[in-house]
Structure 1
């Protein structure tokens, strides 16, 4: 009897909700309508056109990203070019043997909340290899925009677009270096030794 009553109540409640959905906006439409003014405002700020000459303009976000990348490149003395051979050697596994050592207990850099045992374990194998770390970083960076976007940029901008993409890519290597360095510096280690990190940790 209770099951029958529960099933009937569920059917009645569902019919009421579906009847209201026909006359009102759906949840996705209400969320969209609520966020639309905020998104439009942010879009007008981020994509604000900066005029260069009479017939050419660049979105503000492009200027911001390139300026940041140029700053990091100069601040770290062209780290993207100087350490490129080292990056290739790390990916090839040439420095894998460096990880096979233990951290001396006397030289630990302990911050409030760190667990001594897990810090000692960090100097050994780690959770991923160098190549796995690279593959993870690239998988989060390279997407459809890097493939189709390049073709569209060349189609719209001509061969000169290739040159500027290469320049921005080289400068972007410095930005990536800073992101990865901050991610490692401000990572957290769980009680079971699991490592947590990323922008959400070093931006707080």
Structure 2
């Protein structure tokens, strides 16, 4: 009797588990369904962005050529600002010019002056900014430096040898000009609400900057595309 009772209890436990395991194998979970849905889109986008171009017998992703060419253009266009203004950048981060925020604008400057301030940069001088220059730098670096900058360096050296370090340094120096352009556009086209909170980024300067050039639709499309990607 006890043996039959034990067998009955065991069957009542095992049968639901068997059906559950079969259901799990037959029906995909939510994460798997999302992955299955996005995989074709991801593959298509990867084929567009990472398609290779033969250069001196080597296949180089077009996006790498685009980034390096753009950085080189900005470097030359702004007369090697990444080198010329590097000491200035260090001094700004050190806080050398913090005291200038409490001085009036130069009246002889060829800019719009309103009550002793440059019109486009008027602020409540009785209040300090939300972050210091160093905190702003740390925030920018935290959003830029990631796994690719750490593991990518080791992988590049492992695949390309020590010589890869030289080209990474060159690309990094050129990329400083690209970052200068990004930050300048971000400040130029940022929004400040009535509480003094700042909103900015590529979505803003893509939409507002291209709108000034007469490409309103393209600016909105690129801003939305950047926000999604």
How far does residue 40 in structure 1 lie from its aligned partner after superposition? 0.6
Structure 1 residue 108 displacement after superposition: 5.4
Which of these residues, 67, 80, 85, is aligned with residue 69 of structure 2?
67
Alignment of 1:156-195 (within 5 A): 156-195=159-198
2:42 to 39, 58, 62: 39
Q: 1:120 to 1:102 in 2, by over 3 A?
A: farther
Q: Aligned-pair distance for 1:128?
A: 1.1
User: With structure 2 as the length reference, what TM-score do the two structures score?
Assistant: 0.70
Q: CA RMSD in A?
A: 2.5
Greater relative contact order, per chain length (Cα 8 Å cut-off, separation 6+): 1
* Gaps in structure 2 of 5+ consecutive residues: 1-19, 106-112, 208-229
> Take 1:122 and 1:168, find their aligned partners in 2: how far apart are those partners?
39
Structure showing greater radius of gyration is: 2
Instruction: Summarize deviations over 1:105-161 as a string: whole Å, max 9, x none.
Output: 456546xxxxxxx94327963211111111111111112221222122112111210
The answer to whether 1:200 aligns with 2:210 is no
Q: Which runs of 5+ in 1 are unaligned?
A: 1-17, 111-117
Q: Do 2:49 and 2:62's aligned partners in 1 also have CA atoms closer than 8 Å?
A: yes
Judge conservation of contact 2:191–2:198 (CA < 8 Å) in 1. yes
1:23-34 equivalences under 5 Å are 23-34=26-37
How many residue pairs align between the two structures?
178
